Amino acid sequence: MRAAGWGAMAALGGDGLRLLSVSRPQRPSESAALGGPGPGLCCWVSVFSCLSLACSYVGSLYVWKSELPRDHPAVIKRRFTSVLVVSSLSPLCVLLWRELTGIQPGTSLLTLMGFRLEGIFPAALLPLLLTMILFLGPLMQLSMDCPCDLADGLKVVLAPRSWARCLTDMRWLRNQVIAPLTEELVFRACMLPMLAPCMGLGPAVFTCPLFFGVAHFHHIIEQLRFRQSSVGNIFLSAAFQFSYTAVFGAYTAFLFIRTGHLIGPVLCHSFCNYMGFPAVCAALEHPQRRPLLAGYALGVGLFLLLLQPLTDPKLYGSLPLCVLLERAGDSEAPLCS
């Protein structure tokens, strides 16, 4: 074996860095073992399949011609239809990839994509808890700025009428339900199984989010169309959005691999959509700046400390992507242990 220095993402830090620093073994017999084409062709097929999925997902948003902005309920409803159709058909791309490459995952397609019952409760709770810990500072900031106390807030959250209003709000459905579910299905559950046999789990964690980040560039079109800002600011905003969506995509890809479930990334995605990007500048100018900044620092520190134990694969049962790599001859993938 020879070590290939696949760097880890600084944002994950700590033990997460050790986990994502992958030593990728050389697998000269991979093609023969899998009964498919050579690894070079396999990689080209995988990358092209992922690119096709990303283009189909974004393209589905623009099949409807409209002069209305993206937040208009009529536009959102139409996009719901097209995105749900594309997302429902996306597993067919994985099936086609399997036929073209000859790779046999050793598990069912649904299991490989994170639809399984084994370990589902910790897979739903622990990644969400980990993400909420990371957002400890913004959560403190939200509670400080909220005019109601905790008891009143819980009453509002648990009230059936509040949920009824949410379920009839098209923007809420888009941001908290449809976007997290369809994006994680297409950009994680479908892409990671195709990329992992080609390049290994660690590199796939960082490659997969690139498709996710680039897919968000389509917002430039609408911002330019409706003149929402200057051209320079629009492109600067798009570059910033690409950066944090790529980092977030790497995090949810990491969760998908380590838990073997789709539900954790979906819930974390929904939570992050609700919270938005942390308002660090507002925190620096907040009247209670010191405890708030301490909360930010504590949240990041606890996140790095708990990243490995809360995503320990032993909590979630057999990991489908790890089974896939074992069949490909890579039995020492660090993310699998």
Tokens, residue 63: 């099949």
Chain segment 208-227, per-residue pLDDT in tens: 888 877 766 666 666 666 66
Cβ neighbour number for residue 160 with a 10 Å cutoff: 7
Q: What is the pLDDT of residues 20-78, one digit of tens each?
A: 444 344 444 444 334 455 566 788 999 999 999 998 998 898 888 888 888 899 999 99
Active site residue 183: yes
Q: Taking residues 155-183, what's their average pLDDT?
A: 89
- Which DSSP string do the residues of 76-124 spell out, in sequence order? HHHHHHHHHHHHHHHHHHHHHHHHHH----SS-HHHHTT---TTHHHHH
Mind listing the pLDDT tens digit for each residue in 276-323? Answer: 999 999 999 999 999 999 999 999 999 999 999 999 999 999 899 998
Name the residue type at position 163: W
Give the pLDDT band (50/70/90) at residue 240: confident
Give me the phi and psi of 22, to 5 degrees please. Answer: -100, 130
Helix axis angle, 201-215 to 320-327, nearest 10°: 120
Mean pLDDT of 160-186: 93
Q: One of 30, 72, 118, 183 is an active-site residue; which one?
A: 183
pLDDT at res. 24 = 42
| Average pLDDT of the chain, as a whole number | 83
Dihedral sign computed on CA atoms, order 130, 264, 318, 316? positive
pLDDT level of residue 11 (50, 70, 90 thresholds): very low
- In 3-state terms the chain splits into helix, strand, coil percentages (rounded to 5) of 75, 0, 25
Is 86's pLDDT higher than 70?
yes
User: What is the per-residue pLDDT for 34?
Assistant: 44
Query: What does the pLDDT read at residue 5?
Result: 37
The reply to whether 216 belongs to the active site is yes
Give dist(CA 314, CA 337) in Å, integer.
8
The reported pLDDT for the residue numbered 216 is 65
Residue of 67, 72, 99, 216 marked catalytic? 216
